[in-house]
Amino acid sequence: MELEYLIVIAIGLMALMALSVIMFVVLHQRRVIRHQLELNELESQKQMELLQASIQSEEEERQRIAAELHDDVGATLSSARLFLHQAEKYSTSPELIQQSGQLVDDSIRKVRDISHKLQPGTLQALGLHTALQALSEVYKRSGSLKFDVLPASDLPRLNAHTELHVYRIVQELTNNIVRHSGATFIVLQVAGMNNELSVTMQHDGKGMDDKSYEEFLHRKNGIGLKNISNRLRFINGKIFFTKQGNSAFITEVQVPYQ
């Protein structure tokens, strides 16, 4: 009986030891998983901070170049226009002076357009919808395509951070349409509903769907789309690409009010 009792005790101790080992392994694995999750969260946060710093640096450089174009180059061209205006009074060839003046006027307009693209002055003062209207005018003046922004009413102002990101996303989408789609028109609509801002762009050129968008994000030459994706991450936005009928593509950007 004593032997059987000892055997039972030994088996019980072995089972307890095995259970202790199992519990130790389980707890250790949980600690490892928790630690890995914490590391992943820190790494993700670090990547977001680096990405934010990169975008902020890009915006600061845009501001610097826009200011130099407006203050230095624009002022110089305006002074040259005044000198040409004076020379026109005494020149024996006013036609040549007029042509030179026209070239200077065109240069001033182009400098202003470039400056506006780099740093939209209307965005902070008048809001996203007005800034997008001004952007469409720049493209229409270039003669590259027809660009209409539909009227919008009762749109709330978002914070400056979100509005700038949405503006840059629309700007990048427009650049891609102009460069790659062969479109002849763009129709843009901004609307707000259910605590969400919706920006819809329709064009008649070549387009993509959601699957193509994901594929382009992983290509080396998809820098513009990567910029769009990064900006969407910062504002918790989403983007959708759909084909409508045989000759229209629609891109929709959805951003929650912040």
Summarize pLDDT for 33-71 with one digit per residue, the tens: 666 666 666 666 666 655 666 666 566 566 666 655 655
| pLDDT value of residue 58 | 64
| pLDDT value of residue 212 | 85
Full-model pTM: 0.64
Phi–psi pair at 221, nearest 5 degrees? -95, 10
Identity of the amino acid at 144: S
pLDDT higher than 70, residue 213? yes
CB 178 within 8 A of CB 145: yes
Contacts of 131 (CB under 8 A, 6+ apart): 120, 122, 123, 163, 167
Pairing of strands 248-256, 185-193: unpaired
Share of the chain above pLDDT 90, in %: 15
| pLDDT value of residue 80 | 63
| pLDDT value of residue 251 | 94
Write out pLDDT tens, residues 214-251: 888 877 777 778 888 888 988 899 999 998 877 789 99
| Average pLDDT of the segment spanning 118-143 | 82
pLDDT higher than 70, residue 182? yes
Contacts of 98 (CB under 8 A, 6+ apart): 88
Domain ranges of the chain: 1-119, 126-258
What single-letter DSSP state applies at residue 89? Answer: H
Indicate the CATH number for domain 126-258. Answer: 3.30.565.10
pLDDT higher than 90, residue 200? yes
Contacts of 189 (CB under 8 A, 6+ apart): 149, 150, 152, 198, 199, 200
Instruction: Please give the residue that has the higher pLDDT: either 16 or 251.
Output: 251
